[in-house]
Amino acid sequence: MEENGIIPDELDSACRQHAPMAVYLIPTFHNPSTATMPLSRRKEVAEIVRRHEVLLFEDDAYGQLEPNAVPLASLVPERTYFAASLSKCIAPGLRVSLLLTPDQASAEVLVSALRASVQMPAFLMVALVTRWLQDGSAEAIIGAILNESSARQKLAANVLVQHAYSRHPNGHHIWVPLPRNWAKRSSRRMFKGKGWLSLRQNYSASGKASPMRSGFRSAPRAAAPNWSGRWSSLRLH
């Protein structure tokens, strides 16, 4: 992985070495690293998926917040299961996701599997979402969330002006490299009561020591001035 997402040569060699049945990718706002694949990278990945005849699970929880993103599903539709959760771009309480399958036969297999495991969304929520998608409400909500996320990213950028971190301009979270000796309690103390959530990861996505995923979607905007004091009082590097 790097800032443009999965590295094609590494995907290619992993496919050669392990011959997987399927590959799982988050091409837009990868969680937690925030990496987003540009179109050229998506085309390369699609070509590798096709060449190795693997299935692709495209997790598109955030795709609606990046208007320029071209889903891998549109580049290699015959091999892709495309999952679009509405939690991040409309409302988590809906508990509704949309799934596009490579073809009708695979849709039928999937529907049977879901029915067998008794997983189903609440019908009323599905009816509501369907109406919102048809009458333009969904588009308006997505637009409002996109604007709010972008405004919060700008606030965070002002606060973190001295720090290196990864972000997408419309993303719900940032990914902050931390020093090796960073104590977990530091981030707890730092974020407590501010509505800015932090999640320390125990692994490194980019070779740097233990980055921290930090989300601020749930922070009241009024709390924003406090963000500054909290961050600036800490030395991150």
97 touches ligand PLP (CB under 6 A): yes
Residue 203 per-residue DSSP state: S
Select 122 or 161, whichever has its Cβ closest to ligand PLP: 122
59 touches ligand PLP (CB under 6 A): yes
219 touches ligand PLP (CB under 6 A): no
How many Cα atoms within 13 Å fall on the side-chain side of residue 130? 7
Only one of the segments 37-45, 64-72, 84-92, 205-213 lies at the binding site for ligand PLP (rule: CB under 6 A); that segment is 84-92
Select 96 or 231, whichever has its Cβ closest to ligand PLP: 96
**Rounded CA separation 191/193 (Å):** 6
- Shortest CA distance to 159 belongs to which of 226, 206, 99? 226
Neighbouring-strand partners of residue 123: none
Pairing relationship of beta strands 55-59 and 22-25 according to DSSP bridges: parallel
- Shortest CA distance to 96 belongs to which of 74, 124, 63, 136? 124
Select 26 or 35, whichever has its Cβ closest to ligand PLP: 26
Let me know: does 56 contact 25? Beta carbons within 8 Å: yes
Residues 23-42 within binding reach of ligand PLP (CB under 6 A):
26, 31
- Give the binding-site size for ligand PLP (rule: CB under 6 A): 8
How many CB atoms sit inside 10 A of residue 9's CB?
10
210 touches ligand PLP (CB under 6 A): no
**Which of 23, 37, 56, 61 is in the footprint of ligand PLP by CB under 6 A?**
61
Q: Which helix (H) or strand (E) holds 151?
A: helix 137-159
Only one of the segments 64-72, 85-93, 158-166, 205-213 lies at the binding site for ligand PLP (rule: CB under 6 A); that segment is 85-93
Interacting residue ranges for ligand PLP, rule: CB under 6 A = 26, 31, 59, 61, 85, 87, 92, 97
